[in-house]
Each structure stands twice: as structure tokens, then as C-alpha cells.
Structure 1
Amino acid sequence: MTLLLLGLLVGVGLGVLLLRALMDLLERPVFLRTNYRGAPISTAAGLVIVLAVVCLTAMLSVLAALNIRLPDGVITSCELTALAVAGFGLLGLLDDLAQDAGASGYRGHVKSVFSGKLTAGSLKMIAGPAFALVLVLPLQQNSVLWLLVDGAIIALAANLANLFDRAPGRVTKFSCFCLAGLVLACGATALLADTLQLQSFTGLLGLCVAVGAACGMLPAEMKERVMLGDTGANPLGAAIGLAVVLTQEAPVRLGVVIALLFMNLLSERVSFSAVIERVGPLRAVDQLGRMPREP
């Protein structure tokens, strides 16, 4: 638990520092959008999440190369998370900058594929699952079924996080709840197995850094200075999915992939934003810290 808290705090620190360093870049015209208030806002601030995880992983790799002993599983967790956030961050950045109009949702993206004109969204729909399969291949070399299940968890989680990124701070709060749930799940599993050891939690370290970096940007996001964009939402979701793959047993992963598939398909017919607005506790958490809407 101490390791996870340390990873979270390091992520927060890197998030604050990297956002400050990147603000001049993010304020260039290519990154500027107009929000619902008609004010300019920088998109693709999720680059900070990608850089935070990659930088920390690089530092840990140097320590490992110097034969400095690290807890088992730390390097694997961070390296795979770094690959996940980098790959899905690239796809998200393309989507943020392309500003495709028209095609949206699974049906819209499928239509664009069959029309022979790929949008950034339809490219992400194809490349995301492909990248997820490559990512989990070292973990599931002997089972096609679990290769597909684990790859689907990562790809569907990445897309679901993007679906939640419809209001300032929402996807960061969503990620915090997911991280807390995974910590509890790992703790419960370890207690039931009577093996409450550090190795039970190290698979969550990469996710802790990613969520920490997002939390480090949360004040700027809530003040509507920056948006994570798909560049941040997709990597956060992918990191959550990867953490599930690294820490949970097969029955849990199977349940998770079914739930994720259901939620993704449900989004074609149901607005998650509308549901959040109608449910009091969800609305209160969603609006916590956010600037009030102008009448």
C-alpha cells in the first residue's frame, strides 16, 4: 500500500510540474478549442499523463539496470502501463487534433470504415483493439481466448473512459473510483488467500502514477484552463483495463469484459451525462469543484 501511495504522490508531482512546463505548448493555436462558455481552452493536456508514466518508467528502468533491487512486478507494471498510455495517447491525440465532424459512435465509425474514408475515430476503433492485443501478448502467449478477453478489457476500458470525458474532471474522478475499487479487490483477494503481500498490489503501480498525474492537473481542469481530451481519457481507461488484467483472476476478468461490453453498447442508446444529471449522488460528485454554469 505504501508503494501505491508513493506512486500516486509521484504522479501528482509529475502532473503539476509537467503541466506547468507544457502550458506554453498547449496554448498554441493547434491545441486551442472553444468551450461551451465561448472561452478558449487547451485540449490534449492528457499528454502530461503519458509523459509522467513514461518518465517514471524510464527512471525505474535505469535503477534496475544499475542492479538496484525493486519489488517484484514493479517494472512489468510500469513498462506495460507506459506502452499502454503511449499507444492510446497517440490515437487520442490524433482524434483531438483531427476534429472530425459527422461520424460518431460505433455505428458511425463502422459506416466510415465501409465507405473507405477513415476518420480519426474509426482509425482508433481499429487500431485500439489491435494495439491492446499486442500489449497483452507477452502475458497470454498460450491462450487465444484469454488473449482476446484481456485485449478486449483494455480496448473497451479505453473507449469507456472516453465516453465519460464529457465534463471537466469527470474522467479523472471516474479513474480515482476505479483505482480505489481495484485496491479493495486486490486486498480482498489477498486476504481470502491469506497472502497479503506487496506482490498483490504491484500491478497497480503504473495506474497509480497515471491517476496521480491526472489528479495533479485536476485544479487546472476544474478551472477550465485545460481539457484532458482523448489524449488523456483513452490512456487513463487503457491503464485501468491493464491493471485489471495484471491483478485480477480469470473469473473476475471475464465478468469485467462482459460489463465493459454492456456499458459500451449501452452508450449507443443512453447518455451517461443525462444519467449522472438525474441521479443526485452522482451529480453531486460530478459537480464537486467545478465552476458554476452561467445562467
Structure 2
Amino acid sequence: MEKRVVGRFTALAAGAVVARAGYAALRRARPGGSALWERTNFAGRAVDLYAGPAVVAGAVAGAAAATSGPDRRAAVLAVLAAGACGAYDDVAGAGDPRSGFRAHLSALRDGELTSGAVKLIGISAAGLVAGALLEERAVDKALAGVVIAGAAHLVNLVDVRPGRAAAAVLALGAPGLLKGAVAAAPMGAVAAVLPEDLDGRTMIGDTGAHALGAALGVAVVAGNGRAGLLAHAAGLVLAAAYGDKVTALARGAKSARHA
């Protein structure tokens, strides 16, 4: 029991320390120039994206420090891959009005590979690979892949206002602390940048939201059997479908207002 508690604390602490240090270093260095990192939020305020790569680094550090074997490999792979796909969308997808699975898949059918489609394909593939590292049977590998990719999408789906994605990570990760250290890593990482996120000075963006969600997905897989995986997979698919519907309705309403 004591060893497991130490592992969770280690993951929390490592995630927080590395994320905080990474955020501070990026703000000082501003690699590529400030324009690369600046966005306008829902309220029209300028915010930076430094928190995104910082929480990716924190989540990886926390998982590497407190886990081992398949859990560590799956967590590191899922976080890095989801973070990279999210970072590509943060940069290449800036200004693209399309959102939701339907819009990007529709563009793909028309021969256009959008940044959102790259993100969808890349994170799904990473989820399946990470799931294969964690499970032995084919059906469990597939369910694990859905859970990891679905969790990555869910956290990004709620990232519409300051602090919401961070709050989701902390709330969704809390039950995972009872089962292992994997969930502690993203919780520590996002807690480190929470004050600036809530204040509207920074945002984790697609980079951080997808990476943190993927880490939570790995924690769910590591702590559940087939029944739990099936329940989580079903819930995440329903959440994704509902979110896509809401996005489509909002996009339609916005188009009608500007018609």
C-alpha cells in the first residue's frame, strides 16, 4: 500500500514540477516567435499556448517516473503521439472554421486532408497501438484503443472556456488514483498551469487537451477489465457523437446568423 501511495505522489509531483518548469522556459524562450504561440480566446483576449507542450512534458515525466513495463510504454506513447497530433492542429489548423468529425471526414472524402483529419487518424492509431501494449486479446486491444482515443477527444471537446479541460482532467483522473499512478501524472501536470489557465492568460490547446486525455485513457485501461473497458468505450463513443452533433448545430446556427 505504501509503495503505491509513493508512486502516485511521485507521478503527481514529477508531472507538476516538469510542467511548471516547461511552461516558464517556453515563456522565456518563445521559440519561433511570439506570433506562433498567440491565439485569441472566446472573449477576444490574447492568450498563449505555452501550457500545451508543458503539460505534455509533465504527463510524460510523471508516467515515466512512477510506472513501469507496459503501463509506462503505453502512457508515454499515447501522450506523445496525441500531443504531437494536437500540436499539428494547433499550428496548421489555426483559422480553419471546420470542427467535428463530420466536417473533417467530409473534407477527406472530397480529397482534402485537413489538420483535423490528421489528428483524428493519428490519435486513433496511437490509441490502438497503446491498447495493444496493455492488453493481450484482440477484442480487449480494440476496446482499449477506443477508450484511449475517446478520452483524448473528450478532454478536447470540453476545452471551450478557461479551466474547463483542466477541471475535467482533475475530476476524471481522481477515481483513477485509487487504482494506480498513471492518472496522477496528467493531474499533476495540469494542476501546475491551472492558475494561468483559469485567469485566461494561457491555454493548453489541442496539444495539451489530447495528450492529457490520452493519459487518462491509459489509466482507465490499466485499471479495468473487459466489462469496464466496454462501459467506458460505449460512454466515450456516445459523448463523441453528442459532441459532434452539438458542434454541427452550433456551426449551422452561426452560418444562419451571418447569412
The answer to whether the 8 A contact 1:44-1:232 is kept is: no
Structure 2 residue corresponding to 1:257, chosen from 226, 233, 238: 233
1:47 aligns with 2:67: no
Which residue identity is paired with 1:169? G
Describe the shift of the 1:2–1:37 C-alpha distance in structure 2 as closer, same or farther (beyond 3 A): same
Q: What is the CA deviation profile of residues 236-262 of structure 1, one whole-angstrom value per residue up to 9, with x for unaligned ones?
A: 111111111111111111111011111
Per the alignment, residue 215 of structure 2 pairs with 239
Task: Say if 1:139 and 1:80 are closer, same or farther in 2 by CA, change over 3 A.
Answer: closer
Residue 48 of structure 1 aligns to which amino acid in structure 2?
Answer: A
**Using the alignment, how far apart are the partners of 2:182 and 2:144 within structure 1?**
17
TM-fit CA distance, 1:80: 2.2
Is 1:85 matched up with 2:91?
Answer: no
**2:169 and 2:212 in contact (8 A); partners too:** yes
Residue aligning to 1:132:
127
The question of whether the paired residues in 2 share the 8 Å contact of 1:84 and 1:238 is answered with: yes
> Within 5 Å, which residues of 2 pair with 1:110-259?
110-141=105-136, 143-184=137-178, 186=179, 201=180, 205-259=181-235
Distance 1:147 1:79, change over 3 A: closer
Q: Give secondary structure in 1 for the equivalent of 2:47.
A: strand
Contact 1:100–1:119, Cα closer than 8 Å, also in 2:
no
Q: CA deviation at 1:94?
A: 0.6
Deviations 1:59-104 (A, max 9, x none): x4xxxxxxxxxx8x53543332121111000000011111152322
- Contact residue 14 and residue 213 of structure 1 kept, 8 A: yes
TM-score where L is the length of structure 2: 0.85
How much has 1:55 moved relative to structure 2? Answer: 4.0
Letter in 1 for 2:125: A
Is the CA contact 2:73–2:133 (under 8 Å) kept in the aligned structure 1?
Answer: no
Offset at residue 270 of structure 1 (A)? 3.6
- The one-letter amino acid paired with 2:182 is G
* Identity between Structure 1 and Structure 2 (%): 30
Q: Does 1:9 align with 2:9?
A: no
Q: Which secondary structure state, in structure 2, belongs to the residue aligned with residue 95 of structure 1?
A: helix
How far off its partner does 1:56 sit? 5.0
Question: What secondary structure is seen at the aligned counterpart in 1 of 2:105?
Answer: helix
Hey, what's the Cα distance between the residues in 2 that align with 1:166 and 1:35?
A: 9
TM-score (norm 1): 0.75
Deviates more, 1:73-82 or 1:143-152: 73-82
The SS at the match of 1:53 is helix
Q: CA deviation at 1:135?
A: 1.6
Structure 1: unaligned runs, 5 residues or longer: 61-70, 187-200, 275-295
The amino acid that maps onto 1:8 is L
AA aligned opposite 1:159:
H
CA deviation vs aligned residue, 1:270-289 (integer Å, no higher than 9, x gap):
47xx9xxxxxxxxxxxxxxx
* Structure 2 gap ranges (5+): 251-259
**Contact 1:11/1:211 (<8 A) preserved:** yes
The structure number with the bigger radius of gyration is 1
SS at match of 1:41: strand
Give the residue type in structure 1 aligned to 2:116. Answer: G
Cα distance, 1:9 vs. partner? 2.4
